[in-house]
Amino acid sequence: MMIALVTGAGSGIGAAIALRLAADGHTVAVNDLSLEAAKATVEKIHAAGGVAGAYAADVSDEVAVTEMVDLITEDFGAPEILVNNAGFGHQARFTEIEPAMFDKIFAVHVRGNYLCTRACLPAMLEKGQGHIVNIASQLGQIGGVELVHYAGAKAAVIGMTKSLAREVSTQGVRVNAVAPGPINTPLVEALSEEWKTAKRAELPLGRFGSPAEIGGVVSFLVSDDAALFVGQTLGPNSGDVML
């Protein structure tokens, strides 16, 4: 069993990944911007008999990320599983995207991924064992209207996944991405009912995914059953994108 760090795990997909990894027997460091949200996930893990701790940090803040990983290492040991999940959604026509929002999307999704990986990778390489799972989005594969900034950042995450996988896989660290379709979380619940009804109707599966179903994909990717998965982008997307 390993020590896992899941970012943005105070809500939605991240919380479900943290719960699943804990149920699998891993020790889980639950990160979120909000300490309260991280603690709520930790309480659920404890209630289910798992081992976890809450760590508040903004993944786009270099100092906060370094301090967080140092603290996790003191408390439990260096993370052997890193799930880069923290993120947020934002929609705007290209001409309406403000530079500050463009920068923020890239800061959290791309720089955050880079900083957390940078903080965790050296110990994984030293040990010759580790797993990095990056939560991208199918929008990073196919794009989306009013999503140039978000889809661009998620495409960057897929490119980073492939490049790092090429670099470190022979040293025992497997790097993969998950590109979910619509998943029932606060991020998607905030979208209009009209959009959700229309989107559900066009999905081959006819329904959105649940956060727990993404937890299952991450659980598989960090298991020995996924030994041959290197630099892949798995698509739990209700059939919306078939590559």
Catalytic residue among 55, 114, 150, 208: 150
Cβ burial 224-235 (10 Å sphere, 16+ → b, else e) = eebeebbbbbbb
Which of these ranges, 73-81, 124-132, 178-186, 221-229, lies near ligand NAD under the rule CB under 6 A?
178-186
> Contacts with ligand NAD in 106-125 (CB under 6 A)?
108, 112
Options 18-26, 29-37, 164-172, 196-204: segment touching ligand NAD (CB under 6 A): 29-37
Looking at the Cβ atoms of 86 and 124, the one nearer to ligand NAD is 86
CB closest to ligand NAD, residue no: 12
In the residue annotation, 55 being an active-site residue is answered as: no
Between CA 102 and CA 146 the distance in angstroms is 12
Kindly write out the interface string for residues 64-103 of this chain, putting x where it contacts ligand NAD by CB under 6 A and - elsewhere. Answer: ---------------------xxxx---------------
Q: With contact defined as beta carbons under 8 Å apart, do 69 and 120 qualify?
A: yes
Tell me the site size for ligand NAD, rule CB under 6 A: 30
- φ/ψ of 63, rounded to 5, equals -65, -45
The answer to whether 8 contacts ligand NAD (rule: CB under 6 A) is yes
**Residue closer to ligand NAD, measured from CB, 179 or 226:** 179
Binding residues (CB under 6 A) for ligand NAD: these are: 7-8, 10-14, 31-34, 37, 58-60, 85-88, 108, 112, 135, 137, 180, 182-183, 185-188
